[in-house]
Amino acid sequence: MYEAHTGFPCACSIGGSDSGGGAGIQADIKTFSCLGVWGLTVITAITAQNPKRVSGVWPLPEDAVRMQIEAVLEEYGVSFFKTGMLANRGIIRTVSESLPEEVKLVIDPVMISTSGERLLEEDAASGLKELLIPGAELITPNIPEAEYITGMKCIKTEAEIREAGELILDLGAKAVLIKGGHGTGDFATDTLITGYGVTEYTGRRYPFEVHGTGCCLSAAITSFLAAGMKTEAACSQAKRFIERSISQGISGKSKIMSVNPSYEAVNYNNKY
């Protein structure tokens, strides 16, 4: 029987490596560390990217993914796993087969990079729906990802967001957080849909493009869940965390901002 270690919060990110450090495994580890969680990683793909563009993607062999998961489970009891970029159907199947059935899973269904590059092969979304979403504790799609998963042509209104959430719940997920970053207006609202109702989390919409927000938000939620919070509270705290991480983002030569969770580390214990 798989048992999570009870001595300290421990979470594992399964996803792609971002050489620019603003998203993927790198953003997750920064977030975990900031929030007092021991972070573990399973790398599914190597990317050559920065906030401006993705110039190369190399999925790892399925055996490499499987052996990383086995190595993590051999030594650590993981409170929560989080998936990000899974690249292709073979890796999705490998993750599904390698994780113990009773583990708690947060899914960030990474499909397209901020710069517009596809990070999940087109035929792999069905594998996500069939193999990982059923039984997941939470899935955190943005609007385009929710449209792709549900088959809905357009999600704009509050009613359509709730309909999409219900459709994803019907796939077997316990909760769905549909992110509102692709909307318009001065405020961005993320909508949590569960079997118990709907909760909205509204925050400021920043007037600039930011790289890595989805990774950072889902990693923050995973951290709070690993520390023992309920889903509603974890999403609320993560929303506050991501807002500050965006406001303190950094940029390179392109002036495109990357989310900066590390900024929070210095004063985190005084804020929560």
Render pLDDT for 202-259 as a digit per residue (tens, 0 to 9).
Answer: 888 877 778 899 999 999 999 999 999 999 999 999 999 999 999 888 888 988 999 9
- Phi and psi angles of residue 156, each rounded to the nearest 5 degrees, phi first: -130, -45
pLDDT over 90 (residue 182): no
183 part of a folded domain? yes
271 part of a folded domain? no
2 part of a folded domain? no
User: Which of the four pLDDT bands, split at 50, 70 and 90, describes residue 269?
Assistant: very low
For the chain, the residue count is 272
- Phi and psi angles of residue 72, each rounded to the nearest 5 degrees, phi first: -65, -50
Average pLDDT on 11-29 reads 96
Question: What tens digit of pLDDT does each residue of 115-163 get?
Answer: 556 667 777 888 999 999 999 999 999 999 999 999 999 999 999 999 9
1 part of a folded domain? no
* Rg of the Cα atoms in the chain: 17
- Residue 209's SS3 state is coil
d(CA 174, CA 193): 9
pTM over 0.75: yes
Task: Give how far Cα 39 sits from Cα of 11, 26, 32, Å.
Answer: 5, 11, 6
- Phi and psi angles of residue 179, each rounded to the nearest 5 degrees, phi first: -80, 145
d(CA 219, CA 207): 23
213 part of a folded domain? yes
Q: Can you give the residue range of the structural domain that contains 30?
A: 10-266
Q: Please give the tally of structural domains in the chain.
A: 1
Question: What tens digit of pLDDT does each residue of 67-105 get?
Answer: 999 999 999 999 899 999 999 999 999 999 999 988 999
4 part of a folded domain? no
Torsion sign across C-alpha atoms 163, 179, 81, 56: positive
d(CA 72, CA 136): 20
Contact between 183 and 189 under an 8 Å Cβ cutoff? The reply is: yes
pLDDT of residue 141: 96
Q: How many CB atoms lie within 10 A of CB 89?
A: 18
Helix H segments across the chain?
A: 24-34, 62-75, 89-98, 125-127, 143-150, 158-170, 213-226, 231-247, 268-271
CATH number of the structural domain spanning residue 156:
3.40.1190.20
d(CA 13, CA 82): 5
As a whole number, the mean pLDDT across the chain is 89
3 part of a folded domain? no
111-115, 186-190, 265-269: range with highest mean pLDDT: 186-190
pLDDT over 60 (residue 267): no
Of the candidates 234, 158, 225, the residue with the CA atom closest to the CA atom of residue 198: 158
Q: What's the maximum distance between 2 C-alpha atoms anywhere in the chain?
A: 50
120 part of a folded domain? yes
Q: How many CB atoms lie within 10 A of CB 183?
A: 15
Residue that has been written with the tokens 């929030």 in this structure: 35
Contact between 118 and 89 under an 8 Å Cβ cutoff? The reply is: no
